[in-house]
Amino acid sequence: MKWIDDFRRLLDRLRKEEPCGAPDAESGISCGEAVERLFEWLDGELDPKARKEVGVHFEVCARCYPLVMFEKSFSEALARLSPGEGLPRELEDRILSSLGEEGFTER
Amino acid sequence: MTEGEKRDRSFREEALPLMEAVYRFSLRLTADPDRAQDLTQETFLRAYRNWDKYTPGTRPKSWLLTICRNLFLRKEERSRRHAEIVSEIAEEDPRQISRESTVFQAVRDRDPEGEFWARVVDDVVLRAIGELPSVFREAVVLSDMEDLSYEEMSKVLDVPVGTVKSRLFRGRRILQEELYDYALSAGIVEGNPSRPVSDRGSPGRVK
């Protein structure tokens, strides 16, 4: 698939840009290490130490900034989705009625 | 207050407020409002009958969504095909996937603040989510729309956390590519020959 080729090119380029995978002085981790954990960082799934390292790296790294903003705004766009498909009133009535048949009391 | 009254009260307070979330998830699973209503109703009936098995203090949302998904899978008799897909993607490394943003590569020069996504309207995003293969759709919906943690998703989907990450990260990437293709075809972005994205769409840039 074409995008896999694109991805390989991107990785090659990242490697060339980071010849020794050098970590930045503030966070102690490299761009590659930070970007690998980008989704976990955005999802709030990293342990406190890793969260801090990755967060500090993204704060100080101009190279990572555009990718972080891109992924962040994608996550925010999904979280903001307003499906416009609230619970139909008749469904709520149906559910309460069938629960009533099982012995459930509303109040 | 009798035991039955206590039981009904906790069900009323913890489960019933989640009717809309279960219906939303059902809609994403079935892509059909009538079937989603039936699935939601069955989920609550089953949840009520099994409310004694719910552990108080844990998050009832993931418990209800687990019931919902199991009912759906059983009805659809999709378990076998589902298992085949799972075995294919379970070996992928989620960390590697998190680096694979070809759409970002296509728009980065003209979109330093990540405004691209704001241009794609909600119903297009929802339609694209609906068209994702089911294993990826479930992961994206549970995480990005229903705000479940990886651990909670692991319980709902009955797979290890590593597989949750693979599905979620891959699902997001597929979704990004679908939306990017839409943006190209709708003229939201312009083609850019130097940055190819996918087999389907021609490459582009943000206007």
All CATH 1.10.1740.10 domain ranges in chain B, comma separated: 3-77
Q: Which of 56-85 (A) contact B at CB < 8 A?
A: 65-67, 69-79, 81-85
All CATH 1.10.10.10 domain ranges in chain B, comma separated: 80-206
Q: Which of 66-85 (B) contact A at CB < 8 A?
A: none
> What confidence score (pLDDT) does residue B111 get?
66
Cβ B27–A85 below 8 Å, yes or no?
yes
Fold of B80-206: Arc Repressor Mutant, subunit A (1.10.10)
Distance from CA of A25 to the nearest CA of B (A): 22
Distance CA B193, CA B207 (A): 15
pLDDT in tens, B105-126: 777 776 656 667 776 777 788 8
pLDDT in tens, A48-96: 999 999 999 998 888 888 889 888 888 888 888 766 668 899 999 999 9
Q: CB atoms < 10 A from the CB of A97, how many?
A: 11
Best to test chain B binding among A70, A72, A98, A105 (most B CBs inside 10 Å): A70
B1 or A25, higher pLDDT = B1
Q: Does A3 score more than 50 pLDDT? A: no
Distance CA B60, CA B46 (A): 13
Cβ B197–A3 below 8 Å, yes or no?
yes
Mean pLDDT for B42-58 is 91
H-helix segments, chain A: 2-17, 31-36, 38-42, 48-60, 65-80, 89-101
pLDDT in tens, B80-95: 555 556 556 655 777 7
The matching CATH number, chosen from 3.30.360.10, 3.40.50.970, 1.10.1740.10, 3.30.720.210, for B3-77 is 1.10.1740.10
Cβ B20–A70 below 8 Å, yes or no?
no
The verdict on ipTM greater than 0.90 is no
Mean pLDDT for B19-25 is 94
Q: Which two tokens stand for residue B186?
A: 């709708």
